[in-house]
Structure 1
Amino acid sequence: MASKLKNAQLDAKKALEAVEEQFQTLQILNEQGEVVNEAAMPNLTDEQLQELMRRMVYTRILDQRSISLNRQGRLGFYAPTAGQEASQLASQFALETEDFILPGYRDVPQIVWHGLPLSQAFLWSRGHFEGMNIPEGVNVLHPQIIIGAQYVQTAGVALGMKKRGTKAVAITYTGDGGTSQGDFYEGINFAGAYKAPAIFVIQNNQFAISTPREKQTAAKTLAQKAVAAGIPGIVVDGMDPLAVYAATREARERAINGEGPTLIETLTYRYGPHTMAGDDPTRYRTADLDNEWEKKDPLVRFRKFLENKGLWSEEKETEVIEQAKEDIKEALKQADAAPKQKVTDLMSIMYEEMPQTLKEQYELYKEKESK
């Protein structure tokens, strides 16, 4: 049986508590839509507040429609986003056009609002290569399927920006489960060592597929993992769009001023399944927990805030909903009109100069496709 050290040099409990106490949750709007932290209020105009709400409502409709389309077999892979609108859209809203987004697979809304045509997002879901034929000037990469890999990529993109002297940032997202991947730490550590202008967002939606957050790590917060990489970290109420915007905007300012990366943990929740590929959240989440988080709904909270300021109404919301439905309908038409994907298409775009072995196969497939 091990005995206690008589002259221990470390009070482990006290040292850990000292770290944990630094990571208090930033909140500006409470669940009733009331401002509880006036000092942290971001400098947004009435028009910007309305635009942020418009995007959140629009994206909720896009999510509902995408789930329906997936069930109809008209979309392929899809990861629901309802509940995470504040975390996703308020962070993107804090960016500039020149900033670069490296999304995870749930982060399609951010790249759509950053300029990717909705029709291409639908094609990406279907696995069509035209889905990620990204237009010139739209600074996004395709959604990353490998969990955590986007963190390493973001460190590299951000370092490239620094070496070129670009006044812009690279931002990426992962879930709470992604923080258990080696790529997560490698990314934040590399960016920290080189003071690369990166923003790393952890969307802590409480479950990595079916694994609850408390089984992912012994750390009290995920943001405190920034300490090991020597970079700043912050915990934000991820159902509060104003808090998410404020934290992201501040991180961006530090980054472009040469102060390096920031790790942001947003406390949020996904109301639907992990993906539409057979996940059943009722097997690992209780109805009580769902109800608890529904009371924190970012759309409800922000709606109350704007209505109290006279900036939002049922009529405005109806207009947004109808516009979203029309846009989705048109984007689907465009996606459906895309040429059927062929094997020779994939082979021809894979290499600048096709290897001889593939040239032979190319001719075989070309002959088959011509029949």
Structure 2
Amino acid sequence: MPRNRVAEFEVDFVQALDAEGTVDTDFVPDVGDDRLREMYRQMKRARRLDERAIALQRRGEIGTYAPGIGQEGTQVASAVALAERDWLVPSFREQAAFLARGIPPEAILRYAMGMEEGAEIPEGHRELPPSIPVGSQALHAAGIGWGETIRGEDAVALTFFGDGATSEGDVYEATNVAGALDAQVVFVCQNNQYAISTPRTKQTRAETLAQKAIAAGIEGVQVDGNDALGVYSVVADAVESARRGDPVFVEAMTYRRSMHTTADDPSIYRTEDEEREWETFDPILRFERYLESEGVLSEDDVEEIDAEIEEELADAIEAVREATVEYADMFEFVFAETPPTIQRQREAFERGE
């Protein structure tokens, strides 16, 4: 039987900075030195927050924590590419994006300590709380983006998820709905190479994850996720496309340099050689080299930024340590009407059993 080719597709890969900080000027956004320095500060701030949080968890001061070490370039650049009127729909390791959008580190640490108050979004902000189920937040973003389309507003919803989420039906459904209904949404897949311990090569035979957008009839593009300039360029274009009702799927190629969560041991499923290889592509070091070469950042600037971050985080940690919480409240907000089983559990808790 003869075959007729009915469609062809391509997936572009974008990189503005290589590992040495050498730049491709075609993808350098014109954002000004102040914004570039602020992006760098937010990346350093997120890295240090994660390091401090891991130490706090090891001492038993906070619960299970999902660090984003190595993924700061993707998160900060994506968040900065949004306008205040846009929505940020996170998964569970978007500390860097939250910080870049103005959420204070104290709130992130409160949430990690089990205080739901930490997930409360400040008045006037357009961020959703962390989403633990893998991939479900993509549906939330598609709904928000569709809602903005219906209202005739130009706000966009940007959502983050990992490579593992592309194996979930939720992501397929979200991209399909977005494409079919012209939803104003940008999907940012942080391909950090592992879905917990499962490498990307065992998740799919697809050459890229960006090509999964093809089935939904939307644009898919791949970018070096450890290149903050490249990510900003790609996501800024994707956001403007989404404002016009053309959703975009961005695959950011990055690497989770730490554990999946503090309950994980990555040495079981990956090698030290692999980790050392990816260390050379660290997004903060690469961005720092570039900014120094352009005269945007000096050694004194770096020292000043580091000192400010240390002081801020020390204050945040002290404030969280002094916070009080009524632990029995965990039983209060599960059901509209507390069933007998939950009531018995609360009574046992109050008796210290």
Match of 2:282 in 1: 297
After TM superposition, list the pairs within 5 Å mapping 1:157-172 onto structure 2. 157-172=144-159
Unaligned runs of 5+ in 1: 1-6
Q: Is the 8 A contact 2:46 2:99 kept in 1?
A: no
8 Å CA contact retained: 1:79, 1:275? yes
Distance 1:211 1:164, change over 3 A: same
Cα distance in 1 for partners of 2:349, 2:251 equals 53
How far 1:116 moved relative to its partner? 2.1
Specify the alignment match of 2:184 in structure 1. 197
Report the equivalent of 1:3.
Answer: none
SS at match of 2:239: helix
The 3 A distance-change label for structure 1 pair 54 and 367 is: closer
Paired residue secondary structure (1:29): coil
The Cα shift of 1:109 comes to 2.0
| 1:121 maps onto 2:85 in alignment | no
Aligned position for 1:268: 254
In percent, how many aligned pairs have the same letter? 40
The residue type paired with residue 165 of structure 1 is G
Bigger Rg, structure 1 or 2: 1
Change (3 A) 1:164 1:365: farther
TM-score by length of 1: 0.88
Q: Which amino acid aligns with 1:9?
A: R
Once the two structures are superposed, residues 256-280 of structure 1 have per-residue CA deviations (whole angstroms, 9 ceiling, x without a partner) of 2x23211000000011111101x12
What's the secondary structure of 2:326's corresponding residue?
coil
CA drift of 1:100 comes to 1.1
1:1-371 aligned within 5 A: 7-9=1-3, 18-19=8-9, 22-36=10-24, 38-256=25-243, 258-277=244-263, 279-343=264-328, 345-346=329-330, 348-349=332-333, 354-355=336-337, 357=339, 361=343, 368=350
Cα distance change of structure 1 residues 356 and 171 upon mapping to structure 2, 3 Å threshold: closer
Deviation of the 1:155 alpha carbon:
0.7
SS in 2 for 1:236: strand
Cα distance change of structure 1 residues 11 and 125 upon mapping to structure 2, 3 Å threshold: same
| C-alpha distance 65-368 of structure 1, shift in aligned 2 (>3 A) | closer
Change (3 A) 1:367 1:83: closer
CA shift for structure 1 position 157: 1.3
Counterparts of 2:279 and 2:339 in 1: how far apart (Å)? 56
Q: 8 Å contact 1:26–1:236 — kept in the other structure?
A: yes
- DSSP 3-state at the match of 1:199: strand
| Structure 1 ranges of 4+ moved more than 4 A | 346-351, 364-369
2:120–2:129: 8 Å Cα contact kept in structure 1? Answer: no
What one-letter code is carried by the residue in structure 2 that aligns with 1:270? R
Q: How many residues in Structure 1 have an aligned counterpart in Structure 2?
A: 352
**In the TM superposition, what is the alpha-carbon distance from 1:361 to its structure 2 partner?**
3.8
CA 272–366 in structure 1, closer or farther in 2 if over 3 Å, else same? closer
